[in-house]
């Protein structure tokens, strides 16, 4: 929202959408963290004072909506607000998403149609494929096929790049930036933390 004229956020979880809307409306985020066992500590952050996100940026965030990323059916409220159809976005960001979807290929097949020509698709994922989130046969990478190891970063290129070798993909992108590793930490308690490293890839639509 610091540089875009209009921003929409989405998640499959209605609870996350509701929480994000609350932060947008009030400019304040409140949450609890585990200290140890059953002990918790309440936290509070102000968008303006703590993060430098002022009223102008908040106004550019139009709304947060519930969307199934495997279908990408835009709700009528978004189409009415933007006065556009699919293919209207300059940038779509999928953060730690593709390895949490029940059908990641469906997402990749549809997401190109949401972007304008020259629009950017930014993906970030640690590629931790898990069968309780994605059926193993739907994994894009992280598995062997006919004795050959399939890595997710290579599979994405085959699916997305114009010269890609996987005809199931949209194959209408070029790689706009080299891949970059991005580390992040999730706190579990005041003495326990989960450190994860995602790979960020950036793709530009060419047609």
3-state secondary structure of 168: coil
Comparing CA positions, the residue from 123, 122, 118, 86 lying closest to residue 205 is: 118
Q: What is the mean pLDDT of residues 123-151?
A: 95
21-49 exposure pattern, b = at least 16 Cβ within 10 A, e = fewer: eebbeebebeeeeeeeeeeeeeeeeebee
Would you say residue 53 has pLDDT above 80? yes
Q: H-helix or E-strand containing 95? A: strand 89-95
Look at residue 18 in the predicted model and tell me its pLDDT: 96
Would you say residue 207 has pLDDT above 90? no
Whether the Cβ atoms of residue 205 and residue 173 lie closer than 8 Å to each other = yes
> How far is the C-alpha of 122 from the C-alpha of 202, rounded, in Å?
5
User: Is this prediction's pTM over 0.75?
Assistant: yes
* Strand partners for 39: 36
């Amino acid at each position: 929202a610091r540089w875009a004229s209009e921003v929409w956020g989405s998640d499959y979880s209605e609870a996350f959408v509701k929480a994000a809307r609350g932060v947008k409306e009030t400019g304040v985020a409140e949450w609890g963290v585990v200290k140890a066992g059953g002990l918790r500590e309440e936290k509070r952050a102000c968008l303006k004072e703590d993060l430098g996100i002022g009223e102008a940026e908040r106004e550019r965030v139009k709304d947060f909506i519930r969307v199934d990323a495997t279908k990408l059916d835009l709700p009528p409220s978004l189409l009415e607000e933007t006065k556009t159809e699919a293919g209207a976005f300059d940038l779509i960001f999928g953060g730690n998403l593709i390895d949490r979807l029940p059908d990641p290929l469906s997402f990749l097949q549809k997401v190109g149609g949401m972007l304008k020509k020259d629009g950017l698709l930014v993906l970030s994922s640690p590629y931790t494929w898990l069968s309780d989130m994605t059926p193993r046969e739907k994994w894009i990478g992280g598995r062997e096929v006919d004795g050959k190891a399939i890595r997710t970063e290579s599979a994405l290129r085959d699916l997305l790049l114009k010269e890609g070798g996987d005809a199931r993909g949209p194959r209408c992108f070029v790689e706009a930036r080299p891949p970059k590793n991005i580390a992040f930490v999730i706190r579990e308690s005041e003495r326990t933390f989960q450190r994860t490293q995602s790979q960020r890839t950036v793709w530009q639509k060419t047609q």
